[in-house]
Amino acid sequence: MLGVNTPALPASLRRTNQRTVVSLLWRLGCASRADLAKAGGISQPTAGKIISELLHHGILSEVGSGHDSPTRAGGRPPQNGGAPRLGRPGQMLRLDNRRTRFLAVELGVTDTSLSALPVGVELRDQWARRFPTPSSPEAWKREFARVASELVTGPLWGILISVPGIVDETQGKVLFSPNLHWLERTSLPELAGAQLKAPVLLVQEIRALALGHLSADPEGDDFFLVDFGQGVGGAMVIDGQLYSHPTPLSGEFGHTPVANNLRRCGCGAVGCLETLVSERGLLESFSRAHGRPVQSMDQLMGEIAARGMEPWLLDTLNATAQVISGALNVLGLHRVVVTGLLTQLPAFAFDHLADQIQRGAMWARFGQVTCQSAPRRRAAGLVAVGLDRLVFPDGENSRRGVAALQRARRPKKRLAKKTA
Render each residue's pLDDT in the chain as its tens digit; 420 residues: 333 333 344 567 888 888 889 888 988 889 999 999 999 899 999 999 999 999 998 999 998 765 444 444 444 444 444 444 444 456 899 999 999 999 999 999 999 999 999 999 988 899 999 999 999 999 999 999 999 999 998 999 999 999 998 999 999 999 998 889 999 999 999 999 887 889 999 999 999 999 999 988 766 779 999 999 999 999 999 988 888 876 666 778 899 999 999 999 988 999 999 999 999 999 999 999 999 999 999 999 999 999 999 999 999 999 999 999 999 999 999 999 999 999 999 999 999 999 999 999 998 888 889 999 999 999 999 999 999 999 887 644 444 443 444 344 444 433 333 333
Q: Name the burial class of residue 68, with classes exposed (0-12), middle (13-18) and buried (19+) by CB atoms within 10 angstroms of its CB.
A: exposed
E strand intervals along 185-260: 200-204, 223-228, 232-238, 241-242
How much is the pTM?
Answer: 0.83
Q: Judging by DSSP bridges, how do beta strands 241-242 and 232-238 pair with one another?
A: antiparallel
Q: How many C-beta neighbours within 10 Å does residue 107 have?
A: 24
**Cα 30 from chain centroid?**
21
Distance linking the first and last C-alpha atoms of the chain: 48
Residue type at 364 in one-letter notation: A
CATH superfamily of the domain spanning 102-208+378-409: ATPase, nucleotide binding domain (3.30.420.40)
> How many angstroms separate the CA atoms of 124 and 141, rounded?
27
**Cα 59 from chain centroid?**
19
> How many angstroms separate the CA atoms of 201 and 95, rounded?
21
The predicted structure's pLDDT at residue 419: 36
Q: Judging by DSSP bridges, how do beta strands 200-204 and 158-163 pair with one another?
A: parallel
- H-helix or E-strand spanning residue 131: strand 129-132
3-state secondary structure (DSSP) of residue 341: helix
- H-helix or E-strand spanning residue 24: helix 11-28
Architecture (CATH level 2) of domain 218-373: 2-Layer Sandwich (3.30)
Helix boundaries (H) for 31-85:
33-40, 44-56
The predicted structure's pLDDT at residue 66: 52
> How many angstroms separate the CA atoms of 146 and 140, rounded?
10
> How many angstroms separate the CA atoms of 182 and 136, rounded?
6
> How many angstroms separate the CA atoms of 178 and 376, rounded?
22
**In which residue ranges of the chain is CATH 1.10.10.10 found?**
11-79+88-95
Q: How many C-beta neighbours within 10 Å does residue 307 have?
A: 12
> How many angstroms separate the CA atoms of 53 and 41, rounded?
18
Beta bridge partners of 270: 264
The predicted structure's pLDDT at residue 397: 46
> How many angstroms separate the CA atoms of 32 and 35, rounded?
5
Residue type at 209 in one-letter notation: L
Q: What is the DSSP letter of 308?
A: -
Q: Are 328 and 336 in contact (CB under 8 A)?
A: yes
Residue 226 phi/psi, 5-degree rounding, is -125, 125
- Cα 415 to Cα 195, 408, 410, 412, 418: the distances in Å are 22, 18, 15, 9, 9
> How many angstroms separate the CA atoms of 33 and 306, rounded?
53
Overall fold of domain 11-79+88-95: Arc Repressor Mutant, subunit A (1.10.10)
The predicted structure's pLDDT at residue 246: 64
> How many angstroms separate the CA atoms of 349 and 243, rounded?
30
The predicted structure's pLDDT at residue 292: 95
- Cα 63 to Cα 4, 66, 93, 97: the distances in Å are 24, 9, 6, 11
Phi-psi region of 308 (alpha: psi -120 to 50; beta: other; left: phi over 0): left
Closest CA to 249 of 234, 231, 268, 238: 234
> How many angstroms separate the CA atoms of 343 and 353, rounded?
11
**In which residue ranges of the chain is CATH 3.30.420.40 found?**
102-208+378-409, 218-373
The predicted structure's pLDDT at residue 387: 92
